[in-house]
């Protein structure tokens, strides 16, 4: 292990201790480490015996990564991951600092890391992934990623650099085309929805992502996984072409998007484990996975449920409203426009907020609280109050709706802030301490 890497890990650990004492950031220690040794990822993850898996795409990275890790661990693998949802390279390094010795030894068989579309390329510059799971393409943070063509190019580059196996979304025309650029010998797997429920794809995908002609959809093989929800929509089966079904099973996280994420994770686990894959073990593992921080997480607020729902782009917010918006609960929306959220919030005008019209929104908050309130007015949704300060808004929201079911839709940095306050208040696990 290079001396520079040892020094970088030591510096990162000191930064980690300092940030923990201040109760703050999950990414800063990784940034410090990377500054001291830009090649730290190559020196630490590059030699893991079962390789390095990168999970990327616009929506569902955190949930899918958590599900994949759970399935692999249930099969006996020691898995390193970045469980906080901090999906820049510095977030991966920060997660590693708590598990690695100063000599660079990581007690793991395999790494499964989620990375945002841009930072996945930066990661691949340091350590080539052996496997990649590419989820989807949607318009997201237009100031950072521009149009979806650019996002698709980033994911295509990640696919080009993957050395052993790639799992692709068969229902996303941009993602499916990644197959055409893969290196010789790279194994291709597919996941998607069963053709019998293909009419539900518009709930999740923008129109220009779907195939104009269904006949262009790639043909699937024996080890490709398809989602088949039950008629009541509560449970699912992942159906493989060779008849080795996983399920029926019921996830703890609700909605069609979570089911598709489970299908992606299961298909990837099967590719990674090959003959070691056990459908029964996979089903039990998926049923045990709690929603990640802020992604449909249910928090017990003195006996009443509070759902924390991350929203970050038109497709994601539309899916969230379709899953949660029609159910009775007092609602707060918190919109920030910090770098990690995307500075341009004009995408709010691509979301229909009609599911909130009947009950209205009790409170809007965050840096863009007034913009959110105005947007809701255009859709005829009543807004009870506007409070830009997140702490004051949270206090008021919980006080005025004590004992009621409540729900907060929030962008990433607003979610991080609110989740931290809720952890302090109700004794929740902190970022990086997720027990599941």
**Residues with catalytic roles:** 344
Report how far residue 237's alpha carbon sits from residue 259's, in angstroms, rounded to the nearest whole number: 9
* SS3 assignment, position 347: helix
- Which residues lie below 8 Å from residue 249, measured CB to CB, with a gap of 6+? 235, 236, 237, 283, 286, 287
Among 123, 105, 148, 127, which residue's Cα sits nearest to residue 5? 105
Report how far residue 77's alpha carbon sits from residue 209's, in angstroms, rounded to the nearest whole number: 35
CB 399 within 8 A of CB 407: no
CB 7 within 8 A of CB 68: no
- Which residues lie below 8 Å from residue 278, measured CB to CB, with a gap of 6+? 75
CB 285 within 8 A of CB 251: no
Helix (H) or strand (E) segment spanning residue 112: strand 110-114
Structure tokens at 229: 């929800």
Unique residue bearing structure tokens 């691509």 = 350
Helix (H) or strand (E) segment spanning residue 126: helix 117-126
């Amino acid at each position: 292990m290079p001396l520079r890497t040892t020094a970088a890990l030591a510096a990162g650990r000191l930064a980690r201790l300092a940030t923990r004492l201040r109760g703050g950031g999950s990414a800063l220690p990784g940034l410090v480490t990377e500054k001291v040794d830009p090649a730290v990822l190559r020196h630490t993850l590059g030699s893991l015996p079962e390789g390095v898996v990168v999970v990327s795409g616009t929506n569902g990275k955190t949930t899918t990564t958590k599900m994949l890790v759970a399935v692999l661990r249930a099969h006996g693998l020691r898995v390193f991951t970045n469980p906080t949802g901090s999906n820049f390279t510095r977030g991966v390094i920060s997660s590693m600092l708590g598990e690695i010795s100063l000599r660079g030894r990581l007690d793991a068989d395999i790494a499964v890391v989620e990375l945002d579309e841009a930072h996945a390329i930066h990661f691949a510059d340091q350590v080539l992934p052996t496997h990649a799971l590419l989820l989807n393409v949607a318009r997201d943070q237009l100031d950072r990623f521009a149009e979806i063509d650019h996002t698709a190019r980033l994911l295509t580059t990640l696919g080009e650099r993957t050395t052993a196996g790639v799992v692709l979304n068969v229902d996303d025309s941009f993602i499916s085309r990644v197959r055409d650029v893969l290196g010789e010998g790279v194994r291709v797997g597919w996941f998607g929805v069963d053709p019998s429920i293909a009419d539900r794809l518009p709930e999740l995908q923008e129109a220009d992502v779907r195939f104009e002609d269904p006949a262009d959809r790639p043909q699937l093989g024996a080890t490709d996984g398809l989602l088949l929800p039950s008629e009541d929509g509560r449970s699912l089966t992942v159906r493989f072409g060779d008849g080795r079904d996983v399920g029926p099973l019921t996830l703890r996280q609700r909605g069609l998007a979570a089911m598709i994420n489970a299908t992606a994770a299961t298909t990837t686990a099967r590719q990674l484990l090959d003959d070691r894959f056990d459908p029964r073990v996979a089903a039990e593992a998926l049923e045990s996975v709690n929603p990640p921080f802020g992604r449909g997480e249910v928090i017990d607020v003195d006996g009443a449920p509070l759902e924390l729902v991350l929203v970050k782009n038109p497709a994601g917010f539309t899916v969230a409203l379709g899953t949660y918006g029609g159910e009775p609960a007092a609602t707060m929306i918190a919109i920030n426009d910090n770098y990690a959220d995307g500075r341009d919030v004009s995408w709010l005008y691509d979301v229909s907020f009609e599911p909130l019209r009947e009950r209205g929104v009790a409170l809007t908050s965050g840096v863009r609280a007034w913009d959110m309130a105005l947007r809701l007015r255009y859709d005829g949704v009543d807004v009870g109050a506007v409070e830009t300060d997140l702490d004051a808004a949270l206090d008021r929201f919980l006080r005025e709706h004590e004992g009621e079911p409540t729900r907060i839709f929030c962008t990433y940095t607003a979610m991080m802030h609110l989740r931290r306050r809720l952890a302090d208040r109700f004794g929740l696990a902190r970022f990086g301490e997720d027990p599941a």
